[in-house]
Amino acid sequence: MSKYPSFYLTLLPGLLLPVGAPLYAAVNDIFPGDYFPQQPGKMGVGIYAYERNSSGPYAGGRKLLDGAVDASILALRVNKAFRVGEAIVAPVMVLPWTHIDVEPAPLAALLGAKAQGLADLRLGVTTWLINNPDSAHYLGVTAMLVAPTGDYDSQRIINPGEHRWKMVLGGGWQKDITPRLLVELAPEIAFYGTNDDYAGGRRLEQEPSFALTGYLRCRISPAWHVHLGGQLNRGGETRIADVDQHNPANNDRVTAGLTLFLPQQQIILRAARDTRIDNGLRTDLEIALRYQLYF
């Protein structure tokens, strides 16, 4: 008999898939300015650091357990821009590392008290369909493949890797409203492969998930920008051993932060928290810091 009670298994996909993921509920985490075209020939190297404190889990909007799951995440992102005909194309690679702590003891005994290691490798490419500096109007589309390369143990529920393939299709639109204000919108749809070795050998399937990230950014000065943003997440219901779990994500978040531009460098500090959670863990506070170098 499996050590995982069936009652908890109905909760765990919605609970832990976002925890094991290297970024947030949206598979491809978007920061302000991500869809401003990079200069062709330039390489960008980014280092991400996240500290996330979560509580729950929740099911149907109701808190089921008074648990705490804290995650520390580091990620390396490398990309380079090229000109292909009239378009700018930028391949990207992202490699995250995750450390997860679970409390209190009853929840830790079920899920595992700790998990750490490399998460799944991400390979993608963005192509800009609109690149008009005169009108400050930009539109890019992104395709990303997430490979099951991360550390994974089927006898644990929490893992840095997910032991399945994922495909993400998304895009980003950026437009100046005034010389100081600009708006950014980035939708995505994620498709999930099957994990045939979930929680001791069960089959985990997941429906596509949808996300929309938006920012309103203000240029305080050429070097300093501030932003307010939000994210809507929907879909992503799971099936375990051919049993529907009826656990769509349906969670929303708000963000706020600032950006510092330096010569050939960029630093972004962002805070986020969930304002709505139907199923899974509620992010009470997430602090993200990104350093980007261009050369």
Q: Locate 54 and state its tokens.
A: 């979560």
Mean pLDDT of 214-222: 97
Mean pLDDT of 277-295: 94
The answer to whether residue 114 is domain-embedded is: yes
* 37 DSSP 8-state letter: P
For 136-177, what is each residue's pLDDT tens digit? 999 999 999 999 999 999 888 889 999 999 999 999 999 999
Stated pTM of the model: 0.90
For 239-279, what is each residue's pLDDT tens digit? 999 999 888 888 999 999 999 999 999 999 999 999 999 98
The total of structural domains in the chain comes to: 1
Residue of 27, 18, 29, 16 whose CA lies nearest to 166:
27
Antiparallel, parallel or unpaired: β 87-103 and 122-132: antiparallel
pLDDT number for residue 87: 94
The parent domain of residue 121 ranges over: 6-294
Main-chain phi, psi angles of 202, to 5 degrees: -80, 160
The answer to whether residue 142 is domain-embedded is: yes
Which segments of the chain does DSSP mark as H helices, in order?
A: 6-9, 12-20, 105-111
pLDDT number for residue 13: 46
Residue 14: is its pLDDT beyond 60?
no
Mean pLDDT of 189-195: 96
Mean pLDDT of 200-223: 95
pLDDT number for residue 21: 42
Residue 24: is its pLDDT beyond 50?
no
Task: Return the sign of the alpha-carbon dihedral for residues 149, 103, 26, 280.
Answer: positive
Residue of 183, 205, 185, 202 whose CA lies nearest to 194:
205
Residue with tokens 């009108």: 135
The answer to whether residue 47 is domain-embedded is: yes
Main-chain phi, psi angles of 234, to 5 degrees: -140, 160
| Residue 16 and residue 158 in contact, taking contact as beta carbons nearer than 8 Å | yes
pLDDT tier at 1, thresholds 50, 70, 90? very low
Q: Say what percent of the chain tops pLDDT 90.
A: 72
The answer to whether residue 74 is domain-embedded is: yes
Main-chain phi, psi angles of 8, to 5 degrees: -75, -30
Residue with tokens 């598979």: 27
Q: Locate 128 and state its tokens.
A: 């800009």
Q: Locate 63 and state its tokens.
A: 């808190």
CATH number, domain containing residue 97: 2.40.160.40
Mean pLDDT (the chain, rounded): 89
C-alpha to C-alpha distances, 18 to 71, 82, 111, 269, 287, nearest whole angstrom: 11, 33, 14, 21, 16
The answer to whether residue 1 is domain-embedded is: no
pLDDT number for residue 111: 74
The answer to whether residue 98 is domain-embedded is: yes
